[in-house]
Chains A and B, each alone.
Chain A
Amino acid sequence: MLTINDLKVSVEDKDILKGLSLQVNAGEVHAIMGPNGSGKSTLSHVLAGKDGYQVTSGSITYNGSDLLDLETEQRAHQGIFLAMQYPVELPGVNNMVFLRESYNAIRKSRGEDELDSPAFIKLIREKADQVKLPGKLLKRSVNSGFSGGEKKRNEILQMALLEPSLAILDETDSGLDIDALRIVADGVNQLRSEDRAMIVVTHYQRLLDYIKPDVVHVLADGKIIKTGDFSLARELEDKGYGWLLDGEAA
C-alpha cells in the first residue's frame, strides 16, 4: 500500500529525515517509535502533505501512484488520514457541520452522493458512541475549549467516520490518562481490517500494549535503525533507546 524509499526531507535547510525507507501493506499496523527530535512528526506531516517540508530526494508510492504529486486534500480523498498530535481549534465552526463537510467532501471526490443531514446525524451519533465522545461535543465549535483527551477522541471519531485506508496517528497517546488511552486504542482496534493499514507514531510503549502492532520500527536521527515485532516495543520499554543509539554510533 505504502512504499517509502530513501526519503530525505529538510525543514528550512535543516535535514530531518535522512534516507528513510518503509513498506506498509494493507491489513498491517506499524508502530514508529523513537526519541524526541528523531523525525517522527516530520514523517507524519510529509505523508499528509503539510507545507513547509522540502523533500530533497527519495520517493513515496501510495497504491501505485506518486504520493508527493498530490495536494493535501487529494491525499485525504484517497484515504489518507492523519490524527494530529495537536488538533487545532476552529472557533465558531460547529463540530457536526465540520464533520459533515469533511465526510461529504470525501464522498464527493469519490463520485458518491453526499449524505443528507438526517442520515448524517444518525451516522455520527453511532460513531460518537463507538468512541465514547459525549454528544454535546458534537454541538460545540471544533475542538474549542475541548480538554486534551476530548480533542484526541474527536480525532479518533473523525478517523472512525472517514474510514481511511491509511491512518496515521501522530502521538495520539501523548498527554492522555489511562482511560482515554484505552478509548483511543479501542478506536484503533475497531478499525483494524484486511484492507486498511495504520501507522502509529508514539514515544511510549503504553499505547502499544493495547494496540499490539504487527511491526515496530525505531526511528532515530532521521532513519529507521531497527525493525522488529511487538517484542521490540517491550525491549525498548525496558532498556530505553540508548543501547540502539550507541550501536548506531559505533
Chain B
Amino acid sequence: MQTGNSSIDELLDGGYEYGFVTDVVSDTLPPGLDESTIKAISAKKNEPEWLLQWRIQAYRHWLTMDEPEWAHIAKPKIDFQSISYYSAPSSMKEAPESLDDIDPEIRKTYDKLGIPIEEQMALAGIAVDAVFDSVSVATTFREKLAESGVIFTSISEAVHDHPDLVKDYLGSVVSYRDNFFACLNAAVFSDGTFVYIPKGVKCPMELSTYFRINERNTGQFERTLIIAEEESQVSYLEGCTAPMRDENQLHAAVVELVAKTDATIKYSTVQNWYPGDDQGKGGIYNFVTKRGDCRGDRSRISWTQVETGSAITWKYPSCILRGDNSVGEFYSVAVARGMQQADTGTKMIHMGKNTSSTIVSKGISAGQGQNTYRGLVRIAQAAENARNHTQCDSLLIGDKCGAHTFPYIENRNPTAKLEHEATTSKIGEDQLFYCRQRGLSEEDAVSMIVNGFCKEVFNELPMEFAVEAQKLLSVTLEGAVG
C-alpha cells in the first residue's frame, strides 16, 4: 500500500516517468507504405521467401479493408503514409554477439526503466526479451531455458532457427484477414517474441517482453507467438513504455497463443504507453489483437491486463475454447484519465463441451477519460454445458468522465449457464471523508479505494507485478481527485 510522500506538484506536472528519449543513431525507413516497404523490411531481416509472400498477401488484403469505426473512441483518421514502418538502432545492424555487446545507450535505457537485461539480475527470476522500436535488442536466459527445451527468442530469429514451427503457427490463431490492424501487422511486423514450451515442461522461469518505442514518427508492429505443447505450463508477461511526444504514434501488435491438451498459458500485461498530455496532445494509439486458442482438451488460457497508458486503447484479448473442458479467463483493469480513451474487453468463444470462462473487468475513469468495456460471449451449438461468469465493474472519479459497457451474448446451446454482473460506482465523498477522518490523505485514500476495487485482478498478477501495478495505479491517479 502506498503511503505517499510524493509531491503532488511533481505528479501533476508530468505524471509519466518513462517519457525520456534515448539518443541513438537509428536506421529508419522513410515514412510511407507500399510493397517496396514490405520488401525492404523483409530484406533487412533476411527473411525466407514464404514469409515475404505472406506479408505481401496480407498487404494486398489490407488495401481492401477500411479502418474500423465501431469502437467508442474519437480520433482523427490515421494517415498510414506518414508513419515509418521500421526503425532500429544502427548498432543493431550486426546483431550483438552477447549481452555485453549491446549499445550502452540502450543498456542505460533499460536500466532507467528498471528492466533487468543482464543475467546478473537473475534474482528477479525473470527472463526478458527487450524490444526497442522494431527490433529485439536482447533476450536473456536463453541457454538456461534451452536446457529444459524451452525456446525463448525474438520472432525474427525464430524465423531462421525454427522455421517449421513459425510456419505452422504464425497466423493460425489470428489470420491476417481477421481485422484491419491485424492485417496491417501481418504485412509490416518487425519483431516480437517467440516462445515454445515442449510437451510436459513447466517453464522454470517467468518469461517477459519489454516493449519500448523510442524513435519519432515510427509505428511499432510486434508479433508474439507462444506455443504450449501438451501438459506444459508457462507464465508470460509484457510491459510497454514510450517517450512523451506531441504527435500520436501507432502501436499495432498481434499476439497469438496456442495451448494444447492439458497446457496452461498465463499471459499478463502491464501497459503503460505514453498517454498524451492533459489536453490530449500526443500519446500512443494502441490497437492490438490478442487471441488464445485452447486447442486441446482441458487447456487453459488466462489473460490478465493492467492498462494504464496510451491515448487510445483498442484491444480484446480473447479465448477460443475449442478443446473440451478448456478454460478461458480474462482479468482486466483499464484506466482512462485525462483525455484517454479505452475500449477494451474480451471475446470468449465456447466451442468444446464443458468449457468455462470467467471475465472480470474493472474500468476506472477519471478526468475526462472515457472507458468502455466491450465483450462477447459466444456459445456454439456443440458447446454442451458451457459456463460463463462475467463481472464488469466501473469506478468513476470526478464528474467529467464516462464509463460504458457493451456486453454481447450469443448463445446457441440451451444447456449453457451464463451470468453477468455489472456495477458502476463513484468514489464517494463519504468514502473519502471516512478515510481522511482516520488520518489518511486524500491521495492515499483514493489509492486505497482504487486498489481495493482492482484487487480481484491484481490477485491474478505474478507477485512482483502486482506490486508494480498497484504503484503504477496510484501514480496514474494522483491528482485525479479535486
Contact = CB atoms under 8 A, between A and B. Distances in A.
A78 B286 CA distance: 48
Contacts of A82: 437
Nearest to B393: A91
Contacts, number: 83
B175 interface: no
Contact of A92 (B428, B433, B440, B454): B454
Given A90-B452, A105-B444, A50 B433 contact: yes
Contacts of A72: 433, 436-437
Nearest to B4: A105
Interface residues of A, number: 34
Given A93-B452, A101-B1, A105-B3, A76 B438 contact: yes
Interface string B415-452: 00000000000001111011111111110100011011
A147 to B, nearest CB: 18
A76 B449 contact: no
Nearest to A78: B439
Interface string A150-193: 00000000100010000000000000000000000000000000
A24 B433 CA distance: 24
The listed residue with most B CB atoms (<10 A of its CB), out of A72, A76, A86, is A72
Given A50-B433, A52-B429, A90-B431, A102 B440 contact: yes
B434 A84 contact: yes
B438 A141 contact: no
A76 B436 contact: yes
Contact of A93 (B428, B429, B449): B449
B437 A76 contact: yes
Given A73-B439, A102-B438, A105-B439, A90 B449 contact: yes
Contact of A105 (B428, B429, B440, B456): B440
A87 interface: yes
A54 interface: no
Contacts of B442: 73
A92 B436 contact: no
Contacts of A52: 429
Interface of A: 48-52, 71-73, 75-77, 81-82, 84, 86-88, 90-94, 97-98, 101-102, 104-106, 108-109, 141, 158, 162
Given A84-B437, A90-B435, A91-B452, 4 more contacts: A87-B434, A90-B434, A102-B439, A105-B444
